A and B are shown apart, each in its own frame.
Chain A
Amino acid sequence: MKCPACRVPMYAVEFKQVEVDLCPDCGGVWFDRGELSLLLGVERPLETEPAATDEDARPCPLCDKTMDKLNIGPSLRVLVDRCPDCGMWFDRREVEDLGRDLRDNEVGIDPALAEFLNGVFPVKGDR
């Protein structure tokens, strides 16, 4: 699977039975649709909103269709690319941003997701 931003092959990283794909060049993170549903469950998906942005459109690393730009999280301040069929792409630091947003808004999240985010994408600094 190739990075949607730099087109180089990515590698997978597993922690506590959660797996993401990482780009060795830009540090972007791909969450597979299945992985997202493992973490977020179906009953309470993240808040999303279509985003107006001039950031380049990117192809989905799995199906190659152009991904949507979305703002996600409780304050809708993290901009991600999403393929409705395959998954979600976070640029470098965006996963941490989402983690911070979830913490600031005291959104209770699945313990497994919390463990994974704290382990691999820890939120640094105070509120």
Chain B
Amino acid sequence: MWEQIAANRRKSFLLVVGAALLLMALGWFLGEYFGGRGFGPFGLGIAAVVWFVMTLFAYYQGDQVMLSIAGAKKVDKADLPILFNVVEEMTLAAGLSRMPAVYVIDDPAPNAFAAGRRPENAAVAVTSGLLRQLNRDELQGVVAHEMAHIRNRDIQLMLFAGVLAGAIVILAEVGLRGMWFGGGRSRSRRSSGGQDGSAIVAILAIALMILAPILAQLIYFAVSRKREYLADASAATFTRYPEGLASALDKIARAPQQLGGVTQATAPMYIINPLKRAGKAAANATSTHPPIDERIRILRSMAGAGFAAYEESYRQATGKQGVLPGSALKEDEARAPRSGEPEARDASRRTIARQVDDFFYRQGGYRRIECACGTVLKIPPDFRAPRAGCPRCGAVHELG
């Protein structure tokens, strides 16, 4: 298994090195363009410093920033016992030494992500919409997918790739703005003659400023897409029930809500791209995730619940060679899918939905009144009426 992670890392490492070279080239040409001939190394230095500072910050604060941008709240076992149990189970199945912290985001759009710099201090975040719409098997599939990202060290690499892409975008933006406001010594030099070299530099600088952010995004997306397949395959292995994740992806993809608190930089972290509607036109070239239908089809036509079954199913669905690292397939145990029927009528959904609602009611300062007839009234803090009636038995509860 470790070998597989290493193989996965090597490919991504190349992509990240490519992005780093892109960043340096951008810095160099910006230096030449704005500082004049000979200022390239200076620009490169600035680019390196920007990247270094951002990386340090992301390494130590990245997960916290990500969780707070998303508006995630930490939950305890007493708050959401079912979610906690599922995370505990999947921690064991994934062989992680420590259970990740569990966060919930109050947003009706169903989605999930993992964050953290090491498996030992990782976090899993799910939205309340996800909890309200999925049954236990589906929730398990989603959590297993996130566990796979943690175990495969995807979260760490995505953090670095994201920061690199972010640094490139920032530099290019600064450069383009500088040019807009007429900065750049090359312009004055051009008027004083001897500008052959600087004209080329200027053209290259402008081209880089425009192309670099696009290239950076493409690299970032390429890194993230490969990892989604591996995480899906791992989730099938951990749960031995590919249908759980397949059905969860189906529900998430069909949900009409748009997730708030998401930026281009954090989008690839989610189990399904939350910006799917924002950029429909360029959806395929720049998609952070493989096509959802394809992911579902692969999971649903798996003949077993292991990596080999996933690989075979991927080949049939896409007609491509394969997608998983060879070492994963080599170490694959023949896993039989878990037996059992799909959960009848989503019985666990109601329990999960009530747990998540009650958690946010407590957070929101709702008052809880248990009526003798078996109903529970939940009174919001801004409730104006002096009493509330039970619709079942007609009892009137004074709120005083």
Q: Which residues of A contact B (CB under 8 A)?
A: 1, 8-19, 22, 24-25, 34-35, 37-38, 41, 62, 84-86, 110, 112, 119-121
B281 proximal to A (CB < 8 A): no
Does B391 lie within 8 Å of A121, measured CB to CB? yes
Does A17 lie within 8 Å of B392, measured CB to CB? no
Give the residues in chain A near B52, CB-CB below 8 Å: none
Complex: how many Å from CA A22 to CA B379?
10
Does A15 lie within 8 Å of B375, measured CB to CB? yes
Does B350 lie within 8 Å of A8, measured CB to CB? no
Complex: how many Å from CA A17 to CA B390?
15
Interface-located stretch among B209-217, B324-332, B351-359: B351-359
Complex: how many Å from CA A108 to CA B361?
34
Q: Which residues of B contact A (CB under 8 A)?
A: 108, 129, 132-133, 256-257, 345-346, 349-351, 353-354, 357, 361, 366, 374-380, 382-385, 388-392
Q: Which residue of B lies closest to A111 (CB)?
A: B345
Does B346 lie within 8 Å of A38, measured CB to CB? yes
> Given A9-B383, A11-B383, A41-B345, A85–B257 Cβ distance below 8 Å?
yes
Does A19 lie within 8 Å of B357, measured CB to CB? yes
Does A120 lie within 8 Å of B392, measured CB to CB? yes
Does A17 lie within 8 Å of B354, measured CB to CB? yes
Does B382 lie within 8 Å of A34, measured CB to CB? no
Does B382 lie within 8 Å of A120, measured CB to CB? no
Extra contacts, 9 of them, besides A25-B385, A62-B108, A119-B374 (Cβ < 8 A), are A8-B384, A9-B384, A11-B379, A12-B378, A14-B375, A15-B392, A17-B350, A85-B256, A112-B350
> Given A17-B354, A34-B353, A12–B346 Cβ distance below 8 Å?
no
Does A119 lie within 8 Å of B392, measured CB to CB? yes
Does A34 lie within 8 Å of B133, measured CB to CB? yes
Does B391 lie within 8 Å of A120, measured CB to CB? yes
Complex: how many Å from CA A72 to CA B287?
39
Does B389 lie within 8 Å of A14, measured CB to CB? no
Does B389 lie within 8 Å of A24, measured CB to CB? yes
Complex: how many Å from CA A13 to CA B129?
19
Does A34 lie within 8 Å of B379, measured CB to CB? no
Give the residues in chain B near A37, CB-CB below 8 Å: 133
Does B354 lie within 8 Å of A22, measured CB to CB? no
Give the residues in chain A near B353, CB-CB below 8 Å: 17, 19, 34-35, 38
A24: contacting residue among B108, B354, B385, CB under 8 A: B385
Complex: how many Å from CA A96 to CA B219?
57
Give the residues in chain B near A10, CB-CB below 8 Å: 380
Complex: how many Å from CA A35 to CA B133?
9
A38: contacting residue among B349, B388, B391, CB under 8 A: B349
Does A14 lie within 8 Å of B257, measured CB to CB? no
B391: contacting residue among A13, A34, A84, A86, CB under 8 A: A13
Distance in Å from the Cβ of B75 to the closest Cβ of chain A? 19
Distance in Å from the Cβ of A51 to the closest Cβ of chain B? 22
Complex: how many Å from CA A5 to CA B145?
43
Give the residues in chain B near A41, CB-CB below 8 Å: 345-346
Give the residues in chain B near A14, CB-CB below 8 Å: 354, 375-378
Distance in Å from the Cβ of B369 to the closest Cβ of chain A? 9
Give the top 9 A-B pairs by smallest Cβ distance, nearest first. Answer: A17-B350, A12-B378, A24-B385, A34-B132, A14-B376, A15-B375, A85-B256, A9-B382, A120-B392
